[in-house]
Structure 1
């Protein structure tokens, strides 16, 4: 803990210096799972990238003390050694504990345990004036609630205490085929209401074909006699492809999956986004090429390549949570407007809205309910796929999505590009309550959520000279920019910090 305390003191001192000198700064974590444009100036950052350890695990109380930059795979690995497991685990292994707490993370167990932030019991935070405080349901409660979905705009996390559950080594998975949007959303809500289920999510392969996948944690000694399926080895099929094959039989099917394979089942191929890389490079999308190119198809590599190539501006990337009754209406809209498949579905607990960036309540109509009588349940829709166009058309399409989202009471995950105007933003989010909270905790010197996420247009910083000219050539050619992204990802190193000019 001494090493932790020394790092925290350096962080606290640097934040206090920026506060006293009225210098704007940003918090640097070392990586990102955001698709928004971001770069960092070394002279105006607070570097917390070294806060990346699991400090302790209490087996008796089923809790863990962790630093905010601990990624999901490291957290799962350490807790499993103690016979425990986080109740909510983000599907990409590189997503961090701190990101899940302040950045919103709803996964296939969130219908049961809530978003990831609901598994956090307390947080140690350095406020914008350099004060170190602890926030929980029993201490600084208003701050603790405000940190959910705050994107680091109330303070800088240095430690979190997380609730854990007993480890079971296998997940008994059941695949339930679906045949329409209404069938899929209603079937998802039904299975989310069953207490025996620990995990529920869904994939739509077309308007008339999909699958709801339910999971139940079991121990090896009590596991039913079912085939075991893995998703983590290069020769294993990607999860969504396997699910599509199983669902195409049209009958309910069961199998067993090792817990780590289940938790990170979407890592290989980043759900199905990796499929588009094969198409882009004109490589056959078959089992053999997926085995041979497996190294490149994990999310840590893919995010690096995505940022380096500039391809964040060539894809529709939207995750949106809707009142459950309005989910099918949005699916009808996306089918007609974009026809992008697969789509991801995920049921969310009733308290999910309050974890998503300080929004206002939604009092609009919900299908099947009287106005104002929504049951509070939400369904998340993941809409991801290529949208080749110029910038004006790309922005128009995304603004149309956001307009439909607001009409249906949806809230988007803020890792993606934001196309609202500032006025539209504050129609969705509660400016008065949020500003009062920032003022109370001396956080007004920090950027607001709007300041952090507002769209800054397509990033085209090439620099001067021959190097800048070469970058322009690369970015203007789809194939070359793709190869450049791969090169940067394989080379490694930092892709967010600006290089220091000597």
Structure 2
């Protein structure tokens, strides 16, 4: 803990010195899972907090963990599982950090129960823009309650997080996973709501739409028991394992929809009822989308077209197919400038028209479905709005559906921007909001109308109260800088990287330089079979 205090004192002194000289600065975390292009101004000072990356303690009695902001999800899980505990919300990409989950938006397949990641945080230590170090809690009556709630999702624009106290829940050895086949968008949306009902007892729920007539809703329940000694345990972390989404597609493509099957009284087996069930070790389930980055990894094969997308090459190139390396390559190559990566939060009734829009206008498949419990207060997180365009922006508590739209956009830069703007307008019409980790093209006035005048008023009041007006605001951090709606300032480097295969090769080189592939090679959360019960603090029953 003393090392942590010394590091925070150094950060505090550096920030205070820059504040007193009115010098702008940016925080360097060491990695990012955002797809936004950087627009750092020349000469801006950097405050390096990349060394704050340790789990300081795990307390089994209070079910809490003290973690520094740059602790990634895989290291966090590796630290809590030996105590028989796990965070309630674990981001599906191992490299996403606890600090990123708090300062950004992190809603995952357990968020229909637990809400966004920041809802599982008990307190945060922050360095304010003038260098003062404070601890903020969400408890009513806490001196910095407004800071805690305002900083969640505000992208570090109110201060710098240096420590988090996280809630933990009991971990179990496996996730009993059920794949429920659907045959229409309407059915998929209905079924995912059904699986979120409390009486279902699910710990995790999400879904994949491969097409309008092939969807799969994935539900999971934590358990310590296999039904029999011969039950197969499915893993997804090893080089020869299947990619999760392909596995789900392949084992469900011949099934009838669960709705039509349940209407038939003649079927008795689980597969004939439109469902398949298997057992996945907990950590393998939590990071099941890592290899292939959901399905975005296939885009790398699309780019390097001579390389076939088959099982051999997925095995041979496995080091490059994990999300950390994919992000390195995406940023290094410049291909994020023409790859649509958007997550949209929508009321359930708007999901089907939005999916139809994506299918008709962008032809992007698969799509990810993730049910969310939304905050009752104004927030930068996706939240329910009262109606669509032009109506009141009052935030309300309730259920909504996240839809992940990830795929190639138009090659022409102007057309790419237009496609993103058109998507933003359609989301607005349907009463939805975007996650802010990705490309955002709203004009400033439209951004604040969409995210709410109440949110803007509270946020700006907090920026003045905590002396943060010298820092970029949220809009400054998320908006893609373009000259106008049809152009973008470009130099010779983006032009060179736009030439095939220069950008892709450069992205690969940047990934190799990072050595991020070593992190997965040496991960201890991966299931190896014998002896793995120790990872959850469990012992085998007789």
Normalised by the size of structure 2, how large is the TM-score? 0.85
Give unmatched runs, 5+ long, in structure 1: 463-470, 495-502
Q: CA deviation at 1:245?
A: 0.8
Aligned partners of 1:365 and 1:372 also within 8 Å: no
Aligned partners of 1:66 and 1:160 also within 8 Å: yes
**Structure 1 residues 218-227 or 63-72, which shifts more?**
218-227
Distance 1:294 1:209 in 2: 28
Q: CA deviation at 1:387?
A: 1.4
Q: CA deviation at 1:352?
A: 7.6
**Structure 1 residues 406-415 or 42-51, which shifts more?**
42-51
SS in 2 for 1:13: helix
- State the Cα RMSD in Å: 2.2
Distance 1:113 1:410 in 2: 21
Structure 1 256/354 Cα, relative in aligned 2: closer, same or farther at 3 Å? Answer: farther
Distance 2:383 2:174 in 1: 40
Distance 1:287 1:86 in 2: 33
| 1:3-22 → structure 2 map (5 Å cutoff) | 3-22=3-22
Distance 1:415 1:71 in 2: 17
Aligned partners of 2:384 and 2:395 also within 8 Å: no
Residue number in structure 2 paired with 1:498: none
Residue number in structure 1 paired with 2:190: 186
Residue number in structure 1 paired with 2:429: 407
Residue number in structure 1 paired with 2:246: 241
Specify which of 462, 476, 484 is matched with residue 451 of structure 1.
476
Aligned partners of 2:234 and 2:278 also within 8 Å: yes
Q: CA deviation at 1:73?
A: 0.3
SS in 2 for 1:455: coil
Structure 1 373/489 Cα, relative in aligned 2: closer, same or farther at 3 Å? Answer: closer
Distance 1:383 1:360 in 2: 18
Residue number in structure 1 paired with 2:463: 438
Structure 1 39/7 Cα, relative in aligned 2: closer, same or farther at 3 Å? Answer: farther
SS in 1 for 2:70: coil
Give unmatched runs, 5+ long, in structure 2: 256-273, 483-487, 517-542
Distance 1:223 1:146 in 2: 49
Structure 1 74/223 Cα, relative in aligned 2: closer, same or farther at 3 Å? Answer: farther
Residue number in structure 2 paired with 1:214: 219
| 1:256-335 → structure 2 map (5 Å cutoff) | 256-282=279-305, 283-335=307-359
Aligned partners of 1:364 and 1:372 also within 8 Å: no
Residue number in structure 2 paired with 1:101: 102
Q: Deviations over 1:262-287 (max 9, x none)?
A: 11111101110111111221211111
Normalised by the size of structure 1, how large is the TM-score? 0.91
Indicate whether 1:486 and 2:508 are aligned.
yes
Q: CA deviation at 1:43?
A: 5.6
Q: CA deviation at 1:341?
A: 0.4
Aligned partners of 1:8 and 1:158 also within 8 Å: yes
| 1:222-237 → structure 2 map (5 Å cutoff) | 226-237=231-242
Aligned partners of 1:323 and 1:376 also within 8 Å: no
Q: CA deviation at 1:485?
A: 1.0
Structure 1 22/42 Cα, relative in aligned 2: closer, same or farther at 3 Å? Answer: closer
Matched residues, number? 481
Q: Deviations over 1:10-44 (max 9, x none)?
A: 10011111111111111110110011111656861
SS in 2 for 1:484: helix
Aligned partners of 1:104 and 1:355 also within 8 Å: no
**Structure 1 residues 336-345 or 371-380, which shifts more?**
371-380
Q: CA deviation at 1:426?
A: 1.2
Q: CA deviation at 1:308?
A: 0.8
| 1:348-367 → structure 2 map (5 Å cutoff) | 348-351=372-375, 354-357=378-381, 362-364=385-387
Q: CA deviation at 1:54?
A: 0.4
Structure 1 473/105 Cα, relative in aligned 2: closer, same or farther at 3 Å? Answer: closer
SS in 1 for 2:398: coil
Q: CA deviation at 1:493?
A: 7.5
Residue number in structure 2 paired with 1:52: 53
Indicate whether 1:65 and 2:90 are aligned.
no
SS in 1 for 2:501: helix
Distance 1:112 1:300 in 2: 27
Distance 2:384 2:178 in 1: 35
Q: CA deviation at 1:492?
A: 2.1
**Structure 1 residues 276-285 or 63-72, which shifts more?**
276-285
Q: CA deviation at 1:403?
A: 0.3
Aligned partners of 1:62 and 1:163 also within 8 Å: yes
SS in 2 for 1:38: coil
Q: CA deviation at 1:381?
A: 0.3
Specify which of 445, 464, 469 is matched with residue 423 of structure 1.
445
